[in-house]
Amino acid sequence: MSTQPVLNISRQTHLFLYLLIGLVTAFLIWSSFGQLDVVSFAVGDVVPSSQVKTVQHLEGGIVREILVREGDRVARGQPLVELESTASGADVQELNARIASLIADVARLKAEVHGEDIVFPEGYEDAHEDLARQARALYNGRLNQFKNDMATQSSLVDQRMREGDEISARLANTRQKRTLLKEQVAISDELLKQDLTNRMVHLNLLKELANLDGMVSEDTAALNRLGSAIEQERLNMESIEGRFRIEARQELDDKSRSLEEFQNRVRKFEDSFKRSVLVSPVEGVVMNLHVVTRGGVIQPGGAVVDIVPVGDAMVIEAKLLPQDVGYVSAGQPVRVRLASGDGARFQPLDGTVSHVSPDTVETKDGTTFYKVRIKTRVDYFESSGQRYQLVPGVQVMCSIITGSRSVMQYIASPFLGSVSTALQER
């Protein structure tokens, strides 16, 4: 009877030992085969996949009117902000009036240069009837003056030609008379030798022949001078025509340069007018207004409005610490949780690493990180039928799964690390 309690205690001890051995064995089996994820943590924000569209202004300016508010949905091409224009409408009207006048001058001068009828651009005469009429009147006046000058010079040539004809006719007559008179002198000379005539008659014939010779010489010289005069008058005619064309060409060049200059100025003013109204480049939602006051100043190249494109897929842009970048690569799975206090209510989202930046990015406070882009399978968190939509700016916590290890490896790693550095001294 005295040994019975001892046997009972021994059995309990054995049962406990068996149970302990079983638990330890089960733990060893579980720790050897049970896997835990190895993750790298990163904090991120939700952003549009194609980035936020920032509307800027090249020259800058003064805000005249703000036409949208943050949160407004805008269509492509919808006006967002209107700036004060650098040029007034009166300036543009004045330039356009000057251009219209120069177009008429250029058309007129081209006609004068090429000797053609004046031709205006299509629709010009309907839009500028008075200017077209004045240009035609001036063209006709200048053309008539040119024709009158040419006619006057031509009449001088004709007059010289008639004088030449008269001299030529007189010269021919004089030469004919001289020929006959030479025969008379020869006959008189024979008669004088035979004393059939007196010397006085013979001298009179010689005197008359000398007069005819003088007349022939004078008319010949006059005819030569007249030929030179006619040639000069013809050169004068060519000079009148050439001077008319040259003056028209020079004036055409001046007017064409002025026309091009004014057209360039108008184009600049029109471009300025167009740029004074900033429009949305895409359909989207206004996220940020960088100007909120009428009369405010926008710096050249400064951002004015940020727009999130509508229908654009949302992605997560996370900040990864530099010491973890070696473990992270595109294609790795990610678990995404809300960073807010409500994050525990919602199931994590499954995602995938789509891109890792090739270099670090430094913040203003000197912190460096790598940008990691993560695509999620869906764009909302869900819990018991309630959804939390991903919109730009939502902060999330990302667990990037870089591998897996057994529980035993986690337990043994501190000891293995100590063994690897044992028996070494720096």
What is the C-alpha separation between 402 and 324, in angstroms, rounded?
10
d(CA 142, CA 140): 6
Helix and strand numbers, DSSP H then E, in the chain:
6, 17
Give the tokens for residue 399.
Answer: 């667990």
Residue pair 263/99 in contact by the 8 Å Cβ criterion: yes
Predicted pLDDT at 1? 45
The pLDDT of residue 419 is: 53
Q: Sign of dihedral through CA atoms 40, 42, 47, 52?
A: negative
Question: How high is the mean pLDDT in each 10-residue block of the chain (426 residues)?
Answer: 51 76 76 68 85 81 87 88 72 84 90 87 88 89 85 82 83 85 81 78 82 84 83 81 85 90 83 80 85 85 84 84 90 90 84 91 89 90 85 88 67 57 50
| Model pLDDT, residue 146 | 83
Give domain 34-49+313-413's CATH superfamily: Efflux pump adaptor protein, beta barrel domain (2.40.30.170)
Where b means 16+ CB within 10 Å and e means fewer, 178-206 reads: beebeeeeeebeeeeeeeebeeeebeebe
Q: Determine how many CB atoms are found less than 10 A away from the CB of residue 258.
A: 16
Cα dist from 100 to 4, 125, 254, 260, whole Å: 129, 10, 15, 12
Domain borders along the chain are 34-49+313-413, 53-77+281-307, 89-273
235-252 burial, b at 16+ Cβ within 10 Å, e below that, comes to ebbeebeeebeeebeebb
